[in-house]
A and B are shown apart, each in its own frame.
Chain A
Amino acid sequence: MPITITEQNLRLLIDTLVKAGTRVVGPKAAGTMTLYEPLSAGEELNLGGLPRRSAKETFFPLCETILTYEREKEGVRVTDVDPGSVPETLLIGARPCDAAAAPVLDAVFSWDYKDEFFLERRRKTTIIGLACTRADDACFCTAVGLSPADTRGSDLFLTPLKDGGYRCDAITGKGEALLAAHAALFADGDGTPAPLAEPSPGAMDLDKIRGWLDTHFEDPLWEEIAERCAGCGACAFLCPACHCFDIVDEGGEAKGARRKSWDACGFGKFTNHASGHNPRDVQPQRYRNRIMHKFKYYVDKFDQRLCTGCGRCIRACPVGIDIAAVLEEINSKGVE
């Protein structure tokens, strides 16, 4: 028997968890935007619009301190931040494109170096995904092998019902545990799902695209697409799957901190060597790396794509670069 939850009980679930000390993160109105932010009550949940930034910051914060230092009479005291101190978290209302990015990020953060800050947050987070009933003209999840109802990355998945409320499908043990722990808020029952969103770009031949990338490291296309690129980090910072970061020491002689924060391959200084040499010294080379990383290198290494089709980079690009149009173009070229 399928299980459902009413909108009211969904908000009650948030209230209950917040009261119990769980950190609950979900879409919340923030001025002119919606952002995934910590919720202090169920009424703050705003499932209307796609949050401006992705949900990746639930595990990979915009900025986090990893150690602090302080000068003492005898030398300097260095204190590691304990990754275990992160709280149990519920990420609620994650769009399929955001939830699906979690396992993609797991691959790189647990590869040659285990990033304990990321992994601890992932271990302690339960994700409630939510099917999309609306797509705009930047959405392209269907082109990269996902869909508005894809459950990848979700522990529990909500499907909006036509007459209100949600059908709940437990996808993982974490999801089942959440259902069991709050059984009173859920009910047995079924309903008619609301019509799903229909992003306009259909499925693309991703193997064909990768085949073209395999053989076209040098191609006039890169210049044609990317000489307009302004070299900002908007696309990477809004992307659910981009994960490059920088580590810097900030503070003064007496005390300060070592911090990890987002970085972006579009930045001119991203690959600047200490010698002054920059192997990617013009923007088309940097944009090429962005596409190669997402649709070739990451696939070669982890058999996953570093793009979930959320369309945020398309909406945010100040110079109108449209990754779905780039994929369409490569898809139409095929392997020569």
Chain B
Amino acid sequence: MTNSAQTIDPALYAAATDAVRAEAKKVLESGAVSAVVGWQAGRRPGTAMPAIVTDPARVNDLIFSPACVNNLALYLTKAKKEIRAKGRIAIVAKGCDLKALVGLMGENQLRRDDLHVIGVACAGVHGANVDRTLPLSEATIARKCRECAVHTPEGADAIVGTLPELHRFTPTESEELARLEAMAPAERWKFWKEHFSHCIRCYACRQVCPFCYCEQCMCDRNRPQAVETTPRPAGNMAWHIVRAMHLAGRCAGCAECERACPMDIPLNLLNRKMAKELKELYGFEAGLEVKDKGPLAEYREDDDQSFIK
């Protein structure tokens, strides 16, 4: 691999930005959709934020850059009713985000016909706490993007941008997961206990997760209280375990929970571990094909029951 291949060319993003704008303009002007959910630039250099554009005159606000980290599928869930109320919506989706849309369709939270998916060919986005003014490279790319298998989303209504052959990055997350799996249970428990001790229960992990759309979260209940709501070791541990279990077989791997965590808890390691278990036990994994039921939501006669003792 040559040196230049290790830095992702920013021109790819400029071209994708133009294509996102053109597609957004087309679907808004034709009346095919009433809003486009995409990203727009933030005040600070190298930042972006979700944008909900309803006026075709505003499509030039839309961008695609390594700062477009958010999984916008969040804005189509029950958690964001005010946006769904706008009507048929176009959404700009990276491959990882498309998996979430597909999962939500499988769970009857979204109807394909209500959406216009603008899939964006994506070489990756910036990781947390990096110099955002630098192009993507081994030093700046997000952990999830290092192992991405869906750079070009399939099944979208339009695909914007094209990608050259991409450099292979060190799979740091797989390596970290392997390191954790190799640990003795006590050592692993200590690892998570320490991370969870930092949890402040701001629920950013829950609030950015497209699959945390329950209108009543069990962890907010206080009559009776199911999980301690105060940020103390017992409740923190319970909260993260409950969340990991609820996401098992559903998590699309966008890693938004980990990115959003202000306390740097490596939550996607938990999600990946659960996804691995589901694949081994049930041959199931989140993908780009709508499935009616996940393995933990259905019973089959031939399910493995050897764990019942």
Contact = CB atoms under 8 A, between A and B. Distances in A.
Interface of A: 30-33, 52-53, 62-63, 137-138, 223, 227-228, 230-234, 236-238, 246, 248, 250, 259, 261-262, 264, 267, 269, 282-284, 314, 316, 318-322, 324-325, 328
Nearest to A318: B260
A232 B42 contact: no
Contact of A269 (B44, B220, B228): B220
B204 interface: yes
Given A30-B198, A31-B264, A53-B200, A319 B44 contact: no
B262 A325 contact: no
Interface stretch (B93-101, B113-121, B229-237): B229-237
Interface residue tally of chain B, by bracket?
Answer: 35 or more
A325 B43 CA distance: 6
Given A236-B202, A318-B259, A320-B70, 14 more contacts: A32-B129, A53-B200, A63-B231, A227-B80, A228-B49, A232-B204, A232-B206, A232-B260, A237-B200, A238-B262, A261-B229, A261-B230, A261-B231, A321-B49
A31 B192 CA distance: 13
A232 B198 contact: no
24 contacts: A31-B264, A32-B129, A53-B200, A137-B44, A227-B80, A228-B50, A228-B75, A230-B74, A233-B203, A234-B204, A250-B228, A261-B201, A261-B229, A261-B231, A262-B200, A269-B220, A282-B81, A282-B82, A283-B82, A316-B262, A318-B208, A318-B256, A319-B208, A320-B50
B200 A227 contact: no
Interface string B37-61: 0000011110111111000000000
Contacts of A264: 202
A63 B264 contact: no
B222 interface: yes
B225 interface: yes
Given A32-B264, A234-B202, A237-B262, A320 B230 contact: no
Contacts of B183: none
B230 A259 contact: yes
Contacts of B198: 30-31, 33
A259 B74 CA distance: 32
Nearest to A235: B202
Given A63-B231, A319-B70, A230 B51 contact: no
A320 B43 CA distance: 9
A233 B202 CA distance: 4
A269 to B, nearest CB: 6
B80 to A, nearest CB: 8
B208 A230 contact: yes
Given A230-B74, A322-B42, A52 B262 contact: yes
Interface in B98-126: none
Tell me which of B129, B203, B228 has the highest count of chain A C-beta atoms within 10 A of its own C-beta. Answer: B203
Contacts of B228: 250
Contacts of A233: 200-204
Contacts of A259: 230, 232
B41 to A, nearest CB: 9
A234 B262 contact: yes
A318 B70 contact: yes
A156 B49 CA distance: 40
B230 A250 contact: yes
B245 interface: no
Interface string B14-43: 000000000000000000000000000011
A186 to B, nearest CB: 35
B79 interface: yes
Contacts of B129: 32
Contact of B225 (A63, A227, A248, A261): A248
B207 interface: yes
Tell me which of A234, A246, A262 has the highest count of chain B C-beta atoms within 10 A of its own C-beta. Answer: A234
A230 B207 contact: yes
Contacts of A232: 202-204, 206-208, 260
A320 to B, nearest CB: 3
B83 interface: yes
Given A32-B129, A227-B82, A319 B202 contact: no
A187 B224 CA distance: 60
B281 interface: no
Contact of A234 (B49, B79, B230, B260): B260
B241 interface: no
A53 B261 CA distance: 12
Tell me which of A33, A52, A237, A322 has the highest count of chain B C-beta atoms within 10 A of its own C-beta. Answer: A237
A71 to B, nearest CB: 17
A269 B79 CA distance: 12
B263 interface: yes
Tell me which of B52, B70, B207 has the highest count of chain A C-beta atoms within 10 A of its own C-beta. Answer: B207
B70 to A, nearest CB: 6
Nearest to A272: B220
A305 B206 CA distance: 30
Contact of B79 (A231, A250, A261): A231
B129 to A, nearest CB: 7
Nearest to B133: A137
Given A33-B264, A228-B49, A237-B202, A322 B43 contact: yes
A280 to B, nearest CB: 13
B42 A320 contact: yes
Interface string B185-205: 000000000110010111110
